[in-house]
Structure 1
Amino acid sequence: MQRFTLDQLETLRALIEDGTFEKAARRLHITASAVSQRVKAMEQTSGRVLVQRTTPVRLTDAGAVVLRYARQVDLLAADTERALLAGGAADRPTLISLAVNADSLATWFLGALAPVAADLRVTFDLHREDQEHTISLLRSGAVMAAVTSTRESIQGCVTEPLGVMRYRAVATPDFVARWLPHGAATPSKTLAAALSEAPVVTFDRNDDLQDAFLRANAGRPGAAPRHLIPTSHDFARAVLLGLGWGVLPEQQCLAEIDAGTLVELAAAHPVDVPLYWQRWNLSSPLLDAVSAAVRDQALRTLRPLTA
């Protein structure tokens, strides 16, 4: 198979990032017909269909493989430029695309990126997704690395443990008084049974943490009214306002528990979510620096991950 040209790889990246042939053409300062011709040439070279001509365009499985290659070439080019400049400033910032779950993004992850952005000329493209689903973005080539709950490395990637993000079931004192007549110190099975009928706050329809807490303590998920609050900060605020009970990261509720504005439910039964860092198995000083920063920040803020 012949190799793709740099122009072709850049065209595929632009097409997927911008979504249409017309927008990619404007970015590349060529015609939409030229974008289409380059993609067709890539498909002839590979012998595979790379994109579905929808609006926006969508990658095929083969296209995801080529997109990951295109992004890797771009990253290696940036590393090479920096090495040749011997510490000097690059002509343009390097875009680093990462996937991270909402709670990590709201609590500890940005603290890892700030020093990297300050020390190296990089910009970040963060994709927010549940920790169970960030791996799909890595597999598709959309991101270079991901915070994930998946321990097994996908093809072309390596994995290292970050730590455990501990969640605690909490509610306001008024909520407890109204919905839990025996109080928060009730035996866990009785408490969980009562909670299964009480209003609950969930992040979105993929959020399973509240149901996981109920299954662990009552043996079944709840059937109560659910408030869907799809941002981490507002999710925590909804619980603080008494809309329902919810499972919050320690970083978002320990101070409130100490202050008495939140009451912990079933304190002996927190929900622990192990987190891992999966990244391209590629020798890249830039990606190495990002990975080291994430690893160090996780070590400072997450609980140790035991075997």
Structure 2
Amino acid sequence: MLNSKQCDAFLAVAEIGSFDLAAERLCITASAVTLRVQSLEKTLGHLLILRERPCRVTQAGQSLLHYLQHSRLLEHNLIQELTGQSASSHFYRLNIAINDDSLTTWLLSTIQETLILDKIVLHLKVDDQTQTHHLLETGVVNACISTEVTAMKGCLAEPLGTMTYRMVATPQFVHLWFPNGINRENLKITPAVIYNNKDQIHTDIILKHYGLTPETYPHHYIPSAAAFAEAIYLGLGFGMLPDYQIGSRLETAELIEILPQFRTDIRLYWHHWKQQSVALEKLTTTLLQQAHLKMNQA
């Protein structure tokens, strides 16, 4: 039999990535967390946690993490089935990983009614759409929105819809920086707006077609979807915006699509465990029915 206190200590470290923060969650000392994890590793004969910053689970730790997650999910489902709610709250809590563009644009309005009617509260983890899947793999979240097509073992990956991105800038910006069109030389001196160093949409286009890396041209890093769009609206740089944020600005000439040949469609998938809680099942149903409609509302 696995020791429950040792498993709780391991689970806390795996989810948070820190022995100190795990100790705060469990209301014990960090040394006690360390001893419990070490004892569990000795019992199982495998190293479970890589002591890094942040801590990471090993392959053996991943197997244990999946087992504990399923056990916790089954217990949670049983409590909800018998009582209609969790043991400590009238609300159901779901941990979801999502990309900032989806959060800023279509997500909340899509699931608003479900959250209210079914008393669901969300704890959101925001990361690039290419990275959110890793948060599900490491057990930090119950589900995620990702560009990853393949579901990991025990999960499903279901298509949500497509977000279309266009390279845009204001007319004033284009007149100032691209008066004679866009070429490699003027891109070297023209400021771009990029979400962060994980955002590959913009950088891959410029690298592939103009042979320029981000180190060779000026750029803003603005890791907020709302502020990112605002920077482009203010003429601070050019960048890739989804249609939802562009809205009617192309028709009103507030923005210009400067490289239409490099328009990019990003297909998003909803990753979740096959065995879901009642709350997550309802949220999944709403997303699969309505997400693609919201994404297309430009």
Q: TM-score, normalised by structure 1?
A: 0.83
Residue number among 201, 208, 218 corresponding to 1:209 in the alignment:
201
Which position in structure 2 is the counterpart of 1:149?
147
TM-aligned CA distance change 1:212 to 1:48, over 3 Å: same
What are the superposed Cα offsets for residues 206-250 of structure 1, whole Å, 9 maximum, x if unpaired? Answer: 22222344467x454464311111111111011111111111011
Which position in structure 2 is the counterpart of 1:70?
68
Question: How much identity, in percent, do the aligned residues show?
Answer: 33
Secondary structure of the structure 1 residue equivalent to 2:148: coil
Q: Which moved more, 1:20-29 or 1:245-254?
A: 20-29
Distance in 1 of aligned mates of 2:85 and 2:198: 45
Q: TM-score, normalised by structure 2?
A: 0.85
Question: Which runs of 5 or more residues in structure 2 are unaligned?
Answer: none
Which position in structure 2 is the counterpart of 1:101?
99
What are the superposed Cα offsets for residues 126-175 of structure 1, whole Å, 9 maximum, x if unpaired? Answer: 22111112222222222222211111222232111111100111111111
Q: Which moved more, 1:62-71 or 1:28-37?
A: 28-37
Q: Which moved more, 1:15-24 or 1:280-289?
A: 15-24
TM-aligned CA distance change 1:40 to 1:120, over 3 Å: farther
Which position in structure 2 is the counterpart of 1:124?
122
What are the superposed Cα offsets for residues 243-280 of structure 1, whole Å, 9 maximum, x if unpaired? Answer: 11111011111232233321222446521111111222
Distance in 2 of aligned mates of 1:20 and 1:100: 22
8 Å contact from structure 2 (residues 192, 219) kept in 1: yes
Question: Displacement of 1:84 after TM fit?
Answer: 0.4
Distance in 2 of aligned mates of 1:289 and 1:174: 47
What are the superposed Cα offsets for residues 39-83 of structure 1, whole Å, 9 maximum, x if unpaired? Answer: 233223322111234565433332233233333322222221111
8 Å contact from structure 2 (residues 15, 139) kept in 1: no
TM-aligned CA distance change 1:46 to 1:206, over 3 Å: same
Q: RMSD of the TM alignment (CA)?
A: 2.8
8 Å contact from structure 2 (residues 16, 140) kept in 1: no
Q: For residue 133 of structure 1, what is the amino acid of its counterpart?
A: Q
Q: For residue 293 of structure 2, what is the amino acid of its counterpart?
A: R
Q: For residue 137 of structure 1, what is the amino acid of its counterpart?
A: L
Aligned length: 293
TM-aligned CA distance change 1:192 to 1:133, over 3 Å: farther
TM-aligned CA distance change 1:196 to 1:16, over 3 Å: same
Question: Which runs of 5 or more residues in structure 1 are unaligned?
Answer: 183-189
Which position in structure 2 is the counterpart of 1:185?
none
TM-aligned CA distance change 1:21 to 1:272, over 3 Å: closer
1:91 corresponds to 2:83? no
Q: Which moved more, 1:206-215 or 1:246-255?
A: 206-215
Question: Displacement of 1:287 after TM fit?
Answer: 2.4
Secondary structure of the structure 2 residue equivalent to 1:259: coil
Q: How does 1:288-307 map to 2 (within 5 A)?
A: 288-303=281-296
Which position in structure 1 is the counterpart of 2:108?
110
Q: Which moved more, 1:202-211 or 1:13-22?
A: 13-22
Which position in structure 2 is the counterpart of 1:253?
246
TM-aligned CA distance change 1:149 to 1:83, over 3 Å: same
Distance in 2 of aligned mates of 1:276 and 1:55: 29
Which position in structure 1 is the counterpart of 2:39?
41
Q: For residue 227 of structure 1, what is the amino acid of its counterpart?
A: H
1:226 corresponds to 2:219? yes
TM-aligned CA distance change 1:23 to 1:243, over 3 Å: closer
Secondary structure of the structure 2 residue equivalent to 1:132: coil
8 Å contact from structure 1 (residues 212, 221) kept in 2: no
TM-aligned CA distance change 1:275 to 1:194, over 3 Å: farther
TM-aligned CA distance change 1:99 to 1:214, over 3 Å: same
TM-aligned CA distance change 1:211 to 1:24, over 3 Å: closer
Secondary structure of the structure 1 residue equivalent to 2:251: helix
Distance in 2 of aligned mates of 1:39 and 1:81: 28
8 Å contact from structure 1 (residues 170, 265) kept in 2: yes
